[in-house]
Amino acid sequence: MVLNFFKRDKIYLPGEQIDKYTIVKIIGEGRYGICYLVSNNNKNYILKQLKKEMLKKIGKKVCFEEEILSSINHNCIPRFIEKIEKDKFSGYILEFKEGKTFEEIIFKDDYIFKRKEIYKICFQLISILKYLHSMGIVHRDIRVPNTLYNNGKVYLLDFGLARWINDERYTIDVDFSYLGDFLLHLYYTSFEIVNKKSKPWYDELNLYKEELMFLKRLMGIEKKYKSLDELEHDFLCFKHYEI
């Protein structure tokens, strides 16, 4: 029996240099790449190193992130700076945004989000999605590790799965279901277990009827939203909505 092992990509250590950028620390590693905090001229950036074996497997698909990020300009999305291709290294530089991911805030800091705060966060994500969808882009990966939070401001990261909307495979409603799942993570931060018996989220969370219907439609349990305008209208109609 022959075992095939992927040759692991070189992981760069603090102090090492890639082009004109100095590695400060490793931020994280995913299936397709390794992210670093880097600096140049006393300014911080994000460096995304693309894994060689995954580049071979997915081919041109890896170009979507670069292509999409290069086409957009929004203050809540890290700006694409430049591509780096040298010395068997492939990757690109992105703008650095201050903050913590919602994953860190929820699971490491044990932060409890109040309803008013959840509304403000949702409002910002809807605003970001309005921009992306107007540009013909669906993100397809709005999750707690891919969203940053800093002093009440939300940033959307990781466009590795983002695609151009084509009304066939890549449709806007996938962002709606991801948004619903993201919001559930926030609502669950205040949930207290009183019964060991597991229940569906819509039975155990203490939600207003407007919130419940909104989330059910996002998740496709009730009639799915057909447009972002329809979704936004329902959200803004919450009786207890406060910005």
Annotated binding site: 48
Tell me how far apart the alpha carbons of residues 134 and 70 are, in angstroms, rounded to a whole number.
Answer: 16
Known binding-site residue numbers for ATP: 48
| Amino acid in the structure at residue 149 | Y
Report the candidate in 40, 35, 46 with the shortest Cα–Cα distance to residue 21. 40
In contact, 142 and 178? CB cutoff 8 Å: yes
Given 9, 141, 158, 175, which residue is catalytic?
A: 141
Contacts 24+ apart (CB under 8 A), 188-193: 189/106, 189/110, 189/111, 189/112, 189/113, 190/112, 190/113, 190/114
Reply yes or no on whether 141 is catalytic: yes
User: Tokens standing for 90?
Assistant: 């492939």
The DSSP call for residue 31 is S
Which residues, including other chains, have CB under 8 Å from residue 209's CB and lie 6 or more apart?
none
* Residues assigned a catalytic role: 141
